[in-house]
Structure 1
């Protein structure tokens, strides 16, 4: 049993994470960042939940680049093969649920 106060979580580097749970090959991690990630494609599905801050999510669909702003409570689902990158607008805390060992 553990309680995590996401608004209090910080890391010593961008995209630093706290492992919350690992269940049947699926990890749940709390990330803190103030820097963009990198364009990538996960080897499985990914659920990305903004807990604090605003994140500009860029993604490619049918060969075209799109973007959307994600606010607190918004959820981004990346299906297998969805190329995407997250650009926080200042500090952000994000809950990421994905296949264990994913990029």
Structure 2
């Protein structure tokens, strides 16, 4: 058993992470960041939960980029093949659930 105080979590670099759990190849990680990630497509599905801060999530629909603002408590689900990139607006803490080894 372990308790993680997500609002107190920081990392040495943007997108630094703490592994919360690995359940049969599905990882749950807490990320801290203050910088955008890269456009990518995961190896499987991804659940992206903003715990603290605001994140502009960019994603492509039929090859065209679109975005939405995610605030604390909002959840973004990327189905298989969804190209996306997260742009935090300042510091953000994000819970990511995805297949182990995914980008």
TM-score when normalising by structure 2:
0.99
Q: Give 1:5's aligned residue.
A: 5
Q: Give 2:35's aligned residue.
A: 35
Q: Give 2:22's aligned residue.
A: 22
Deviates more, 1:90-99 or 1:56-65: 56-65
Question: Given the alignment of the two structures, is residue 82 of structure 1 paired with residue 82 of structure 2, yes or no?
Answer: yes
Distance in 2 (alpha carbons) for counterparts of 1:42 and 1:54: 22
Distance in 1 (alpha carbons) for counterparts of 2:89 and 2:65: 19
Structure 1: segments with no counterpart, 5+ residues: none
- Deviating above 2 A after TM superposition, structure 1's stretches of 4 or more consecutive aligned residues are none
SS at structure 2 position matched to 1:80: coil
Cα offset, 1:61, TM superposition:
0.9
Q: Give 1:97's aligned residue.
A: 97
Distance in 2 (alpha carbons) for counterparts of 1:62 and 1:24: 32
Map Cα deviations across residues 21-60 of structure 1 (whole Å, 9 max, x no partner).
Answer: 0001100000000000000000100000000000000000
Cα offset, 1:64, TM superposition:
1.2
Q: How many residues align?
A: 103
SS at structure 2 position matched to 1:58: strand
